[in-house]
Amino acid sequence: MIDVQDLTKQYAGRTAVDRLTFQVEPGQIVGFLGPNGAGKSTTMRILSGYMPPTSGRATVNGHDVFHESIAVRKSIGYMPEMAPLYTDMKVKEYLRFRAELKGLSGREMRQRVGEVMDLCTITDVRRRLIGHLSKGFRQRVALADALLHKPPLLILDEPTNGLDPVQIRQVRDLLRSLKPAHTILLSTHILQEVEAVCDRVLMIHHGRILANDTPDRLTRGLRAASVVQVELRAGGDDVLAKIEALPNVRKATQDGEESGWRTITVRVEANQDVREPLMDLALKQGWKIRELHRQLPSLEDVFIELSAAD
C-alpha cells in the first residue's frame, strides 16, 4: 500500500526527513511514532501529495506521489492534525459539499454521507453548525470527511489530540472497526495510542527511522532492565541487600511501607526473570509475600532508550 525509499525533505539549514525507507502492507494499522518535530507530519504531507520531497521516492497504492499526485489523492483519506473545517456550515451540509468535491453526486452521495455519519456517530448532530460542536465531534466530522470516497488508505495526523479519555476510547474503537477495509497510517506522540490499536510501529526521531516492528517484539527486545515489584513483610535492615545479592538483580529500592508491609521495586537485567529466585529467598528467610509481579518495558521505555542511543 505504501512504499517509501530514501525519502528526504530539506529546508533551509534543517533536514526534516532523512532518507526514510519503509513499507506498509494492505489492511494494517501502522503507528507512526515520535516526538513533536520528529518529521511525522512532513512525511505525511509528502505521502498525501501536499508537498514534494527533496529526494527519494514514494508510492501509494501503486502510484508515485510526485508524478501521479491526483491518483494518489484519490487513494487517500487524509485527516490533518488541525482539520480545516468550515465552522459556519452544518455537519450534513459540509459533508455533502465535501462529497461533491470528491466526485460523488446524487443518490450515491446522499447514501455515502449517511453511511459515514453513522460510522463516525455524528448523525445526531447533523443539523448543528460545526462551529458549535465540541472538539471531539469536530474530529469525528473530519474523519467522516476522510472516509467519504472510500479510500483504501487513511492517513491520520494526531487524531485524538485534545480529546478527553472517553472521546479517545471512542476514536480508538472506530479505528479498529475500519480494518481490514482500510489501511491506516496513524501519526501520534502518544505511545499508549499505538499500543492500543496498531499492528506495527514505525519510530521516527530527527527525521530517521529508529525502529520498525510490532509493539510486542519491540518491548520484548528492549535492552533495558525489566522491573519486578514485590510487597512483603520482613524484619531486619538487610532485606534490600539480600535481594540485590540475587543473580541478575541490578538494584532493589523500597518505595514505601504500610502496616509492616514493604513495597520494593527490583530492577532486573534485560531478558531475565527473578520472581522464582525471589520467592525461594523469601521462603528461606521466612518473609511473607502478598504481591509479586513482573512489569515488562513499555513502548515509552523502548522509545526513550532508542532515542537516547540515537
Reference 162, options 154, 153, 171; nearest CA is 171
Q: What is the DSSP letter of 189?
A: S
C-alpha to C-alpha distance for 59 and 291, rounded to whole angstroms:
52
C-alpha cell at position 284: 528461606
pLDDT at site 130: 94
pLDDT at site 223: 54
Predicted structure pTM score: 0.74
pLDDT at site 123: 93
pLDDT at site 310: 55
C-alpha to C-alpha distance for 109 and 129, rounded to whole angstroms:
20
pLDDT at site 222: 55
| Domains along the chain with CATH numbers | 2-220 (3.40.50.300), 226-296 (3.30.70.1340)
**265 - beta bridge partners?**
229, 253
Residue holding cell 470527511?
145
pLDDT averages per 10-residue partition of the chain, 310 residues: 91 87 91 82 87 90 89 90 88 95 92 93 93 88 92 88 78 84 85 81 86 78 71 88 92 89 88 88 92 77 63
Q: Please answer whether residues 16 and 42 qualify as being in contact, where contact means their C-beta atoms are separated by less than 8 angstroms.
A: yes
